[in-house]
Structures are given as C-alpha cells and as structure tokens.
C-alpha cells in the first residue's frame, strides 16, 4: 500500500479527520487526548482502498473475512474508558482486525500487545504498523481465549470481539488494579462491561449496549 499517494487524496485529508473528531465530541466523547488521536490517525489506511472515501464516517466498515473495523465512536468510547484512571503502561487487545483500535491505543499508552486469529488480517495490520512507525505494538497470530501470558501482566485488557462470557484465564493476566473491557453476549444482545481486578476480587460494571462480531475459537 502506497501511503504517500493515499494521504494526498482530498477526501482523506486532515480536514475530514477534524470533522470526524468534532462529530465524536458532539456524540459525547469528552476525553481530549482521545479526540486528538482520532484527529491524527489516518483511518483510511486501515480499510480497503475502495472504501477510503467512507473512512471518516462514524460507521463500521467491512475489512474482509466477515470482519469489520469498529465504528470510530466505539473505538473512542472504549479508549476513553480504558484511560479514565490514568494511562495504562501495558495493554492487551484481543481482536486486532484492521489494527485501528491498536493504533489509537499505541498513541496513548506505553505498549500494546494485540492478538488476531485470522492470518491475513494479522499480516496486513503488522505491515501497516511497521509502515506507520508504530514501534510499541506487538502482534501475534493466535486464539485470544488464551491471552498472552508471557507478555503480561497487563494494566488493561481490551476485547474487540464478543465472547458469551469472559475466558477465565484472562483475569490472571490482569495486573493488580487493572481493568478488562469487553463486549459480552450473543449476536442478539451484547453489553460493554468493565471488570476491575482488586486483589483476589473482580469487580464488574455494565457500561452500555454494543454490537461486535463474535469471539471465535482457534485460528484460520
């Protein structure tokens, strides 16, 4: 992908990104750091070139393999929640997809580890992170149900695919005081939930209804 050429396209310009950030502000995103990052990350590079012109609409878009890049509002919202208690040093994301959410996080936190189960998406995002010089993102092809124990513990864990219930082992990879943020439920009804680890206890809080692709087992 030739990023220089595509950066030059008018409809993917800085002004278009400004408009998206303004729209997210109107929609209720309050964190200025998050809005600033949205203003700077070229989302059009995370979607197929044929969809470039729609990259700054506040909507989810297909990225192939039956998956989607999350709606910017949802990315902003999840990021805002993850950093509300301060900027976490180490973050694990499960469901790399296009890589956009990981790129947003990487601009704010110390280090992002991200796992994807579909090889083609894993490879595309890895290449894009390299092109964009996002050196604080580590990628892995694998099943996120297992987390990434050797890289933990994490101050925050983010699921961008919805499980029916949180894979138990993930809590063990959460640092003391760390938070796990996930959409939980089936295709009919999902809720975004925050789980905070306090000693041996996990405190759970519901946030709002959401709609994510399902978390699946194994790799392909």
**Which residues have a catalytic role annotated?**
70
Q: Which is nearer to ligand SAH, 176 or 211 (CB)?
A: 211
SS3 content of the chain, % helix, strand, coil (to 5): 40, 30, 35
Q: Which is nearer to ligand SAH, 131 or 198 (CB)?
A: 131
Q: Is residue 143 a contact residue for ligand SAH (CB under 6 A)?
A: yes
CB 21 within 8 A of CB 104: no
CB 60 within 8 A of CB 67: no
C-beta of 73: minimal distance to ligand SAH in Å?
A: 13
Region from 23-31, 49-57, 172-180, 208-216 binding ligand SAH, contact rule CB under 6 A: 208-216
Q: Is residue 173 a contact residue for ligand SAH (CB under 6 A)?
A: no
Q: Which is nearer to ligand SAH, 128 or 194 (CB)?
A: 128
Region from 11-19, 65-73, 129-137, 189-197 binding ligand SAH, contact rule CB under 6 A: 65-73
CB 69 within 8 A of CB 100: yes
Nearest position to ligand SAH, beta carbon? 97
C-beta of 207: minimal distance to ligand SAH in Å?
A: 17
Q: Is residue 145 a contact residue for ligand SAH (CB under 6 A)?
A: yes
- Per-residue binding string, ligand SAH, 99-118, x by CB under 6 A, is -xx-------------xxxx
C-alpha to C-alpha distances, 155 to 37, 68, 86, 158, nearest whole angstrom: 20, 26, 10, 10
C-alpha to C-alpha distances, 142 to 49, 115, 174, 183, 197, nearest whole angstrom: 27, 6, 19, 20, 25
Q: Is residue 12 a contact residue for ligand SAH (CB under 6 A)?
A: no
DSSP string over 81-146: HHTTTS--SEEEEE--TTSHHHHHHHTTSSEEEEEESSHHHHHHHHHHHHHTT-TTEEEEES-GGG
C-beta of 2: minimal distance to ligand SAH in Å?
A: 21
CB 175 within 8 A of CB 198: no
Interface residue list for ligand SAH (CB under 6 A): 67-70, 94-95, 97-98, 100-101, 115-118, 121, 143-145, 160-161, 213, 215-216
């Amino acid at each position: 992908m030739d990023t220089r050429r595509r950066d030059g396209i008018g409809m993917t310009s800085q002004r278009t990104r400004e408009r998206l950030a303004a729209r997210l502000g109107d929609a209720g995103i309050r964190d200025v750091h998050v809005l600033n990052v949205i203003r700077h990350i070229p989302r059009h590079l995370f979607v197929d070139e044929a969809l470039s012109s729609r990259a700054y609409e506040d909507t989810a878009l297909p990225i192939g393999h039956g998956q989607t890049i999350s709606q910017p509002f949802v990315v902003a919202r999840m990021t805002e929640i993850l950093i509300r208690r301060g900027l976490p040093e180490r973050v694990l994301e499960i469901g790399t997809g296009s890589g956009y959410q990981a790129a947003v996080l990487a601009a704010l936190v110390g280090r992002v580890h991200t796992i994807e189960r579909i090889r083609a998406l894993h490879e595309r995002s890895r290449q894009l992170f390299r092109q964009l010089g996002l050196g604080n993102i580590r990628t892995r092809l694998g099943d996120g149900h297992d987390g990434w124990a050797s890289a933990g513990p994490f101050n925050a864990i983010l699921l961008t695919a919805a499980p029916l219930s949180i894979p138990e082992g993930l809590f063990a990879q959460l640092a003391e005081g760390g938070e796990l943020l996930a959409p939980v439920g089936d295709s009919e009804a999902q809720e975004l939930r925050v789980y905070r680890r306090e000693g041996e206890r996990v405190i759970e809080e519901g946030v709002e209804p959401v709609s994510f692709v399902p978390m699946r087992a194994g790799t392909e």
